[in-house]
Amino acid sequence: MGAAAKVQVRRAYEAPATTDGTRVLVDRLWPRGLARAEASLDEWCKQVAPSTELRTWYAHDPERFEEFGRRYRQELAQPERAEALAHLRELARSATLTLLTATRQPEISEAQVLAELLRD
Number of domains in the chain: 1
Distance CA 114, CA 94 (A): 17
The predicted pLDDT at position 1 comes to 41
Q: What confidence tens digit (pLDDT) does each residue in 91-106 have?
A: 999 899 999 999 999 9
Q: Which residues span the domain enclosing 108? A: 7-119
Helix (H) or strand (E) holding 84: helix 79-94
Position 2 pLDDT exceeds 80: no
Q: What confidence tens digit (pLDDT) does each residue in 28-76 have?
A: 999 999 998 888 999 999 999 999 999 999 999 999 999 999 999 999 9
Q: Decide if 2 is inside a domain.
A: no
Q: Decide if 1 is inside a domain.
A: no
